[in-house]
Amino acid sequence: MALFALSSSSPKDRPARRGSARARLERSLHSPLVLFTLKGLNFSFTAITNFVLTFVLVRAIGLDSYAVIASLLAIAALVLQMDLGVTGLTFFQLRSHYLAEAGKNDIKQDDRDLVTAIVTIYFAVSILSVVILGAAVAAGLVRIGPYSVAYVLIFAGAVSALPRMALRVAINARDGFVWSEIIDLGRRSAILCATVAMLLGLSFTSYSLLNLSAWVLSIAALMRAAHTHGFSTGRGALPRGLRLLRREVRGIRATVLLSLADFVIAVFPYYFLAATRDAAAIVAFDMLYKVTRFAVMGYLIGAETALPHQTRAVHNGDAKALTRITARAFLVGLLPMVSGIIAIGLFGERVFAIILNHNEIISPVMRLVICAMLAFGLIQTTCQIVLIGVGKFEELARRASITFTGMILISAAMVLFHWSLDAFMIGYVIIYGAGSVLYAECLYALVQSLRSKNQHVEA
pLDDT beyond 90 at 96: no
pLDDT tens-digit map of 227-257: 998 888 878 888 888 888 777 665 677 888 8
The proportion of the chain whose per-residue pLDDT surpasses 90, expressed as a percent, equals 42
What pLDDT is recorded for position 84? 78
Give residue 325's pLDDT: 96
| Section 418-440 average pLDDT | 92
Of 419, 405, 408, the C-alpha closest to 365 is 419
For residue 10, the model assigns a pLDDT of 52
pLDDT tens readout for residues 7-46: 444 555 555 555 566 666 667 777 888 988 998 898 888 8
pTM of the shown model:
0.76
Its sign, for the CA torsion 318, 320, 322, 325, is negative
- In this prediction, residue 78 carries a pLDDT of 84
